[in-house]
Amino acid sequence: MEHLAPEQTTTRPPAAAYRNLAVATVGFTLTFWAWALIAPLGSDFGERLNLSSFSQSLLVAVPVIVGSLGRVPVGALTDLYGAKRMFPLVSALTIVPVLLVIPARDSFVAMLGVGFLLGVGGTTFAIGIPLVNSWFPPAHRGFALGIFGMGMGGVALSGYFTPRIAKHGENLPFIVVAVALAAFALLALVLITDRPDRPVPTSPLATRLGQAGRLRVTWELSFLYAIGFGGIVAFGVYLPTYLKTWYELDPTDAGTKAAGFALVTVIFRPIGGWLSDRVHPATVTACALAVVALFAIVQAFDPKLNPVGTICFLVMAAGLGTASGSVFALVSQVTPQPQVGSVTGIVGAMGGLGGFVPPLVMGAVYSAENSYSIGFMLLSDLALAGCVYAYGRMRNIGAERP
């Protein structure tokens, strides 16, 4: 067991903090790759199963909603049992649906069921945040949480590598990810350590979730995170389909460009955390969402992909990544330590749900209007609302706010 010297809790983090951060980030990346496995192959599944635009959107969105809602109990269980138990357990459980894709891919109903189970992989976010939050002091916490958030790069890895690996065998992507998850589960069991003095709740799970749900900040942060992280998830699962449908790119090229979008969000998430260690996180969030709102309006007018469309997507990716990092820096500032896991679970769930709805909306809008413009205008409206709320209401928030 590793003990912390008093000066370490107030100055610099111990070596164990960085080890846990590194292992948690790797695990978050791998489970997010698994969580996003269906999206890069969505158009292929659509053609294989003769799906409508809406049905294809539903297929890629199901893991999102399950993974999002699953963060609520997983975050609360992490408060109770710790990340050392939860990370290996969830990683191992995710292997099952990854391998089930192989026999299920010729049936839409079966794929929906597998997508439901794949949602388990999206819950590790609620395991890593309390772990990182407990090991790093406030002065270093925003940047550390941003580094952990780079695990969202699993979406980029999925978008880039999954279709390429599939060219060497349609079963190969699922086997590769399953093996990687198994290796990580063993690694996490050995290397992850919970902070020795972490507070362990004694009240029942339902009580703790109820307490977290009664905090006003929980829902204010959920709203902001649903825009920032929800936008990242929505683009992650639907951008390949959008690029293939609207700009007529082939699946590999669409996946590559979607991976580039995801990579930018990954790079800017720790920047959002770093800025939030120096400027109030609410101000950082407001500025980032203002940028997203502006460039979503430009994209609503259907510019050519090169260069205007590409610039719009990359700038929106930077804004969404920055906002995601700054919102969780705000979570660490305003949430009582014993409730971080429970609040993280709820906020993370709302963020994921923010990524569930847009793909369905985009699919429905395109089916009805043969255009995506309305969808981008809705994104602009939401981002602007988040900008105003973050700047006007969240800058003076306190940890004990009811």
When pLDDT is averaged across residues 53-71 and rounded to a whole number, the result is 82
Q: What is the CATH number of the domain that holds 293?
A: 1.20.1250.20
Cα–chain center distance at 320:
11
**Six-digit token pair at 41?**
């192959």
Is 228 among the domain residues?
yes
Please provide the DSSP assignment of 60-72 as one string.
HHHHHHHHHHHHH
| Cβ neighbours of residue 132 closer than 8 Å, sequence gap 6 or more | 20, 21, 24, 141, 144, 145, 148
Q: Are the C-beta atoms of residues 210 and 302 closer than 8 Å to each other?
A: no
| pLDDT recorded at residue 253 | 84
Give the tens place of pLDDT for each residue, 237-284.
Answer: 788 888 888 888 887 788 788 888 888 998 898 899 889 888 889 999
pLDDT of residue 200: 77
Peptide bond into 359 cis (omega under 30): no
- The pLDDT of residue 297 is above 90: yes
Domain contains 18: yes
Q: Is residue 124 part of a domain?
A: yes
d(CA 133, CA 17): 10
Distance from C-alpha of 326 to C-alpha of 47, rounded to nearest angstrom? 39
One-character DSSP codes across 308-333:
IIHHHHHHHHHHHHHHHHHHHHHHHH
Asked if the model's pLDDT at residue 288 lies above 90, the reply is yes
pLDDT of residue 23 exceeding 80, the answer is yes
What is the mean pLDDT of the segment spanning 193-211?
A: 81
pLDDT level of residue 121 (50, 70, 90 thresholds)? very high
Say how far apart CA 301 and CA 207 lie, in whole Å.
Answer: 48
Integer Cα distance of 116 and 67 in angstroms: 8
Asked whether residue 32 is domain-assigned, the answer is yes
Contacts of 182 (CB under 8 A, 6+ apart): 92, 95
Hey, what are 139's tokens? 């002065």
Q: Is the pLDDT of residue 36 over 50?
A: yes
Q: Is the pLDDT of residue 235 over 90?
A: no
Give domain status of residue 231, yes or no.
yes
- Segment 111-139 shows an average pLDDT of 89
pLDDT of 337 reads: 67
- Per the structure, the complete domain to which residue 13 belongs is given by 6-393
pLDDT of 37 over the 90 cut: no
Residue from 52, 66, 402, 72 nearest 233 by CA: 66
State residue 2's pLDDT score. Answer: 45
Position 109 pLDDT exceeds 50: yes
170-193 residue pLDDT tens = 889 999 999 999 999 999 999 999
Given a contact cutoff of 8 angstroms between Cβ atoms, the answer to whether 328 and 149 are in contact is yes
Considering 119-128, 153-162, 290-299, the range whose residues carry the highest mean pLDDT is 290-299
DSSP letter, residue 223: H
Residue 402 lies in a domain: no
Say how far apart CA 126 and CA 139 lie, in whole Å. Answer: 21
> 248's torsion region: left (phi>0), alpha (psi -120 to 50) or beta?
left
* 396 pLDDT more than 80: no
Contact 333, 208 (CB under 8 A): no
Element (DSSP H or E) covering residue 207? helix 205-214
Residue with tokens 């500025």: 287
Is 297 within the bounds of a domain?
A: yes
* pLDDT confidence tier of residue 402, bands split at 50, 70 and 90: very low
Amino acid present at 330? L
Q: What is the pLDDT of residue 399?
A: 40
Residue 399 dihedral angles phi and psi, to the nearest 5° = -65, -30
Q: C-alpha distances in angstroms, 373 versus 130, 242, 267, 298? A: 39, 12, 27, 10
- Answer yes or no: is 398 within a domain: no
* Confidence at residue 177, expressed as pLDDT on a 0 to 100 scale: 95
pLDDT at 397: 66
326-385 confidence digits (pLDDT tens):
997 887 777 776 677 778 778 878 887 787 778 778 878 887 778 888 889 999 999 999
Cβ-count burial of 200 within 10 angstroms (0-12 exposed, 13-18 middle, 19+ buried)?
Answer: exposed
Mean pLDDT of the chain: 85
Give me the number of domains the chain comprises.
1
